[in-house]
Amino acid sequence: MTKPEFIQSKIYKPEDLKRAIAIWRFKDNKIVFTNGCFDILHKGHVTYLAKAADLGDILIVGLNSDISVKKLNKGANRPIQDQDSRALILASLHHVTAVVLFDEDTPADLIKLVQPDALVKGGDWKPEQIVGYDTVKARGGEVVSIEFLPGFSTTAIEQKIKSGGN
């Protein structure tokens, strides 16, 4: 398998993810789940994802599809990159095991499918506010908020680009 094929193989459809999860569970791997838009991947995202990966053996990233990003009203120009580009970039990170797109407003259904041992979101969310909290806690899992790196956000980068870099 070539490296581009390997990266592409880390991008799953939900129905295909079920089989992979069964294998990972059989091997007694701790599964971590997080989600987001990851529109322009930056240092804050990479640091966040690395910290999330440190919480287990398998890191699954639920990626908001283009349709889902539009529903979040992040701005008229968002997403800046299409879902296939965002998924491929995320899958290229060595500590990301799997990327799966979702169209819904929230990843609640995906979290029910994955049944992660750890559910992770950024520090702007209190654990009990995180979508999927009840699902994960009901099976004895942990819900974790990871602090953001200050000064790094896709919105800030977008504004910098629009202002000509100033």
Q: Which fold has domain 3-162?
A: Rossmann fold (3.40.50)
For 111, the token pair is 């979290």
Q: Could you tell me the pLDDT band of residue 166, with boundaries at 50, 70 and 90?
A: low
Which positions ≥6 away from 39 have C-beta within 8 Å?
Answer: 69, 74, 78, 79, 80, 81, 86, 154
Provide the residue ranges of all domains of the chain, joining segments of one domain with +: 3-162
Q: What angle do CA 77, 38, 120 make, to 5 degrees?
A: 140
Which pLDDT does position 74 carry in this prediction?
A: 76
pLDDT single digits (tens) 141-155: 999 999 887 666 666
Q: Could you tell me the pLDDT band of residue 108, with boundaries at 50, 70 and 90?
A: very high
- DSSP label of 28: T
Which pLDDT does position 149 carry in this prediction?
A: 72
Which pLDDT does position 45 carry in this prediction?
A: 93
Q: HEC string of 57-114?
A: CEEEEEEECHHHHHHCCCCCCCCCCCHHHHHHHHHCCCCCCEEEEECCCCCHHHHHHH
**pTM of the complete model:** 0.92
CA 61 to chain centre: 3
